[in-house]
Amino acid sequence: MSTSLIKGHVADDFGAVKMAFEANFNEGLEAGAGFCVYKDGELIVDLIGGTKDRKQEQHWQADTLVPVFSTTKAVAALVIAWLYDTARLDYNQTVASLWPEFGQHGKDELTIAQALSHQAGLSGITEPMQPKDWFDWEGMCSRLAAQKPIWEPGTASGYHPVTYGFLAGEIARLADAKHRTLGTILREEFCAPNDIDFFIGTPEDEHGRCADLHKPRSMSDLGEINEATKAAFLNPWSSPGGRGTAAWREFEFAGANGHGTAKAVARLMQLALDGHIGDTQILGENTLYEMSRPRISGPNLVLPFDLTIACGFMVNSPNQFYGPNTSTIGHSGWGGSCAFADPITGITCAYVMNKQSNILIGDPRPMKLIAALYECL
């Protein structure tokens, strides 16, 4: 690809990051992508490149929106953190204290912190349904409330790729004083007041800015298949479908279909770094501690990794997907996107793209960019 399609800002001494970004395109690894980094709230890298459409004819723009899939979980976790900070909920209260119907089949003692760290035993829906049933919010919440967990809640963590968004979303809706959806809280409290271009539930009039996806041609390596993995990924109804792209963009899958720019995600991640957006403090020090401290660590029942998980975030140890510092927190999304906040260096970072790989976590494209970034610090 011509390097003339690479645009954006790179601060002095960070030229190696731009070179790594260009290399991903020159090696044929990208269609379109964005990479953005802030340090202590100051923009130091903001790069875009490539094309946004399936025919690869339309240039990627600064305002091109792209789905970040499970990187959305980190953004959803920030909304829950705001509800904690404003005393609408407590991480240690049970989900059933907000949502009484949820307390069936031994789920009555599951805490909000455990639900956000994928300990609910609800990695997917076990009873047959149609992929289009995911678009019925009340129906899906009823299914999750009534479902018998796949493992004893609170005893292990197994990644919840789609159900996480319904758990976090219903907790947020019930805790909010106005019973707003999680996406509405995000827009009204974070994004609209600060001109941040990110949506959970992307309005139809924004779809013209959305990038087309180039999906991977092979399945991800899920490791040993068990009941939790099958429910999460492999049943015919494991993922939303049957309603078309527009409906998928507009619905709030609060852990799986956020749309935004790399710059928007990196700005939101400042909340995870120091509780600020720009100069405005939104989350307090105690909230940051409770949000980011590890809740469970060890082998994951769904993903073939040892993971340390906080309240909606992956902690960098032991895999170091997000640079060298073990206290960094972040999240990755299907196809390669990722975002993180590093309290040691003051870095917040986001990578987005539309050419998806089949690597679950640790895609080599952002890993190359992150390595170059830290070499420049």
Walk along the chain (377 residues) and give the pLDDT tens digit of each residue: 555 589 999 999 999 999 999 999 999 999 999 999 999 999 999 999 999 999 999 999 999 999 999 999 999 999 999 999 999 999 999 999 999 999 999 999 999 999 999 999 999 999 999 999 999 999 999 999 999 999 999 999 999 999 999 999 999 999 999 999 999 999 999 999 999 999 999 999 999 999 999 999 898 999 999 999 999 999 999 999 999 999 999 999 999 999 999 999 999 999 999 999 999 999 999 999 999 999 999 999 999 999 999 999 999 999 999 999 999 999 999 999 999 999 999 999 999 999 999 999 999 999 999 999 999 99
**Prediction pTM value:** 0.98
Three-class secondary structure assignment of the chain = CCHHHCEEEECCCCHHHHHHHHHHHHCCCCCEEEEEEEECCEEEEEEEEEECCCCCCCECCCCCEEECHHHHHHHHHHHHHHHHHCCCCCCCCEHHHHCHHHCCCCCCCCEHHHHHCCCCCCCCCCCCCCHHHHHCHHHHHHHHHHCCCCCCCCCCCCCCCCHHHHHHHHHHHHHCCCCCCHHHHHHHHHHHHHCCCEECCCCHHHHHHECCCECCCCCCCCCCCCHHHHHHHHCCCCCCCCCCHHHHHHCCCCCCCCEECHHHHHHHCHHHHHCEECCEECCCHHHHHHHHCCCEEEECCCCCCEEEECCCCEECCCCCCCCCCCCCEEEECCCCCEEEEECCCCEEEEEEECECCCCCCCCHHHHHHHHHHHHHC
78 closest CA partner among 218, 256, 272 = 272
- Cβ–Cβ < 8 Å for 63, 197: yes
The CATH fold assigned to 64-369 is Beta-lactamase (3.40.710)
Q: Report the pLDDT value the prediction gives residue 3, as an integer from 0 to 100.
A: 55
Where exactly are the structural domains of the chain? 64-369
Q: Report how far residue 118's alpha carbon sits from residue 115's, in angstroms, rounded to the nearest whole number.
A: 5
Q: Report the pLDDT value the prediction gives residue 5, as an integer from 0 to 100.
A: 83
Residue in the block written with tokens 């509780």 = 275
Q: Report the pLDDT value the prediction gives residue 4, as an integer from 0 to 100.
A: 59
Q: Report how far residue 201's alpha carbon sits from residue 244's, in angstroms, rounded to the nearest whole number.
A: 14
Whether omega for the bond prior to residue 318 falls within 30 degrees of 0, making it cis, is yes
